[in-house]
């Protein structure tokens, strides 16, 4: 197969690219590829793997013959190795899946390159960051909220399944979510099955909830029916309150609250809860929303949409997304997680690169720094 190319004066040809190997829900073996631009120091795209784990990434021939003999090599096999194909010889297909195994992340992380070669010539480089594994424990709480003279009901979330997905998301960044046994509690607030986020201070229901059966040195995640108090037209489905945030608002403890749904709305997909919980854990690790943009002035580009720390967890509408619906973008579901969820939910990427024009980026580094800090994240 030949490559046809029109040329006007100067044409730059980049034969290959890298991308996530599957287009479905997050799992433990198919990480996102951070390919946001090609600036120093990485130039190429970046993917991460935890020391001792093996993940699959996809290389794709965009302007290169499928028959061209390519070989994948690691620039330092003491940092990562290519598990498959073991001899490095890539298949003669447009898309080529490669498994890499993290060998040694050093004291925190090490980065080397996966080079795709034709003969001796390097056609493409994928940067592979190997993270030393850090463990962060999470204690799930199933909270029944009585109120208004009525007895509440326990949340419906499949907590075990949700926690597994959360592990899948954060595991790619060397952060192991240690899931503690689920604890059940009943509280009484103003409205049955609902915790009100107003007032958001030490005397409010949120603070009371975060003080319920608190387990030290873990992230306490409280599963509830609903979270009231959102701005008109919006539904709050999760709150992630880091130690600094809790202190700033006079609350008893940091923690996470995750709702089954809102007025007239109930979740049904495990991934929907998991995405929100993973997002709130990001806040617990002091991550901010993408470029700290808040509704309604949120970022509306496709890249922000791919990120776990995008502030909106879903867009209304179905694929193809209508442009500018509710003044929301993107027009494309480019999250890498398929259309199975139908409603254009945000992606799960935690950024590895740091684009210089962004104030908040390199989220994996920030998260790990918080965990590694003397005070820890709790």
| Footprint on this chain of another protein (rule: CB under 8 A) | 2-15, 17, 35-40, 43-44, 62-65, 67-69, 118, 121-125, 299-303, 323-324, 327, 329-332, 334, 355-358
CB contact at 8 A, 300 and 328: yes
Q: How far apart are CB 1 and another protein at their closest, in Å?
A: 8
Q: What is the rounded distance in angstroms from the CA atom of residue 265 to the CA atom of residue 293? A: 25
Cβ distance to another protein smaller for residue 5 or 107: 5
Cα 147 to Cα 186, 213, 225, 257, 273, distances in angstroms: 11, 19, 12, 18, 24
Q: Specify the residue, 63 or 217, whose C-beta has the smaller distance to another protein.
A: 63
Structure tokens at 17: 């690219």
Residue found by looking up tokens 């594994």 in the block: 133
**Cα(227)–Cα(212) distance, integer angstroms:** 16
Place of tokens 């080529």: 96
Q: Two tokens at 75?
A: 């620039």
Closer residue to another protein (CB): 294 or 327:
327
Q: At closest approach, how far in Å is the CB of 347 from another protein?
A: 13
Instruction: Give me the least distance between CB of 240 and another protein, in Å please.
Output: 24
- Between 13 and 150, whose beta carbon lies closer to another protein? 13
Least Å from the CB of residue 44 to another protein: 5
For another protein, the closer of residues 243 and 305 by Cβ is 305
**Shortest separation between residue 46's beta carbon and another protein, angstroms:** 12
Residues with Cβ within 8 Å of residue 116, at least 6 apart in sequence:
16, 59, 70, 71, 72, 90, 122, 123, 124, 125, 126
Name the residue nearer to another protein (CB basis): 265 or 332: 332
Residue 14 beta carbon to another protein: minimum distance, rounded to whole angstroms: 4
Residue 355 beta carbon to another protein: minimum distance, rounded to whole angstroms: 5
From the list 262, 310, 271, the residue with the least C-alpha distance to 287 is 310
Closer residue to another protein in complex, CB, 314/334: 334
Q: Name the minimum Å distance from CB 62 to another protein.
A: 5
Tell which residue, 364, 201, 246, 359, has the closest CA to residue 293.
359
Query: Token pair of 186, please?
Result: 């009943």
173 three-class SS? coil
Taking alpha carbons only, the member of 301, 303, 305, 333 closest to residue 320 is: 333
- Residue 157, burial from CB neighbour count under 10 angstroms (0-12, 13-18, 19+): buried
- Output 127 or 132, the one with its CB closest to another protein: 127
């Amino acid at each position: 197969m030949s490559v046809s190319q029109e040329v006007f004066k100067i044409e730059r040809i980049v034969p290959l690219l890298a991308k996530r190997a599957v287009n479905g829900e997050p799992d433990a073996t198919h990480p996102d590829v951070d390919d946001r631009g090609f600036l120093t120091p990485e130039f190429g795209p970046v993917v991460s793997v935890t020391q001792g784990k093996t993940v699959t990434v996809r290389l794709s021939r965009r302007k290169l013959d499928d028959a061209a003999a390519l070989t994948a090599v690691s620039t330092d096999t003491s940092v990562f190795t290519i598990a498959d194909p073991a001899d490095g010889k890539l298949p003669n297909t447009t898309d080529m899946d490669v498994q890499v195994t993290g060998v040694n992340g050093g004291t925190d992380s090490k980065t080397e390159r996966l080079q795709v070669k034709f003969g001796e010539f390097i056609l493409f480089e994928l940067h592979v960051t190997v993270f030393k594994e850090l463990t962060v424990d999470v204690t799930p709480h199933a909270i029944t909220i009585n109120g208004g003279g009525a007895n509440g009901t326990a949340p419906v979330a499949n907590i075990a399944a949700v926690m597994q997905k959360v592990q899948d998301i954060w595991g790619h960044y060397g952060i192991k979510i240690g899931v503690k046994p689920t604890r059940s509690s009943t509280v009484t607030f103003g409205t049955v099955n609902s915790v009100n986020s107003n007032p958001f201070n030490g005397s409010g229901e949120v603070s009371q909830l975060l003080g319920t059966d608190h387990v030290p040195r873990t992230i306490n995640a409280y599963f509830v029916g609903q979270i009231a108090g959102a701005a008109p037209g919006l539904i709050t489905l999760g709150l992630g309150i880091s130690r600094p945030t809790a202190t700033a608002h006079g609350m008893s403890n940091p923690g996470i609250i995750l709702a089954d749904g809102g007025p007239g709305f109930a979740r049904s997909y495990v991934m929907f809860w998991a995405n929100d919980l993973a997002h709130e854990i990001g806040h617990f690790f002091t991550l901010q929303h993408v470029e700290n943009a808040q509704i309604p002035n949120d970022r509306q580009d496709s890249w922000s949409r791919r990120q776990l720390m995008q502030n909106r967890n879903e867009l209304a509408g179905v694929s193809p997304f209508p442009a500018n619906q509710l003044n929301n973008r993107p027009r494309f579901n480019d999250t890498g997680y398929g259309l199975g969820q139908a409603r254009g939910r945000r992606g799960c990427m935690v950024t590895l690169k740091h684009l210089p024009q962004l104030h908040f980026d390199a989220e994996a580094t920030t998260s790990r720094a918080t965990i590694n800090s003397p005070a820890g994240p709790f």
